[in-house]
Structure 1
Amino acid sequence: MRQNIENLTTELIRLPRRERLELVRFLLFLDNRSSDSDNDIESAWEKEITDRVRAVDDGTAIGIDYDRAMQKIEKRFIQ
């Protein structure tokens, strides 16, 4: 299972930013059978995702260097 997750992660990293954000949104809201508490969490994530997409679109998002980001990802998922 761990290998499948790593393979999937590798593929997801290659997607364009907009497609990754859409996929995250889809996964977060996949299960609509949630409680009110979960709905609050989902609302917070919806706002966060919307804010992040808006920041990317507006050019105000603060990113990190690609190589540094990849180092962080590799450190987290390859160990």
Structure 2
Amino acid sequence: MPKTLEAITQDVLELPRAQRLALARIIFDLDDESADPDAEAAWDAEIRVRLKKYDEGQLETVPYETFRAEMERRFGR
């Protein structure tokens, strides 16, 4: 017998935040009729390239605190 929406909601609320956000993305993508499979594949490939460069130390990075301060300066809070 399928779970009720209430039971599923309770299960979701018990997940760690990162898993809840991942689930939200999955659900959102299910109804995204405008999703372009070629664009998705291109983004997946780009993400892999960037992660490989990061892992190999080929990217210039900044600490999160620096990034956050810059975003607050640009966009306010």
* TM-score tier (shorter): 0.3 to 0.5
Rg larger in structure? 2
* Structure with the larger RCO, 1 or 2 (CA within 8 Å, 6+ apart): 1
Question: Which of the two has greater helix per residue?
Answer: 1
Normalized against structure 1, the TM-score is what?
0.45
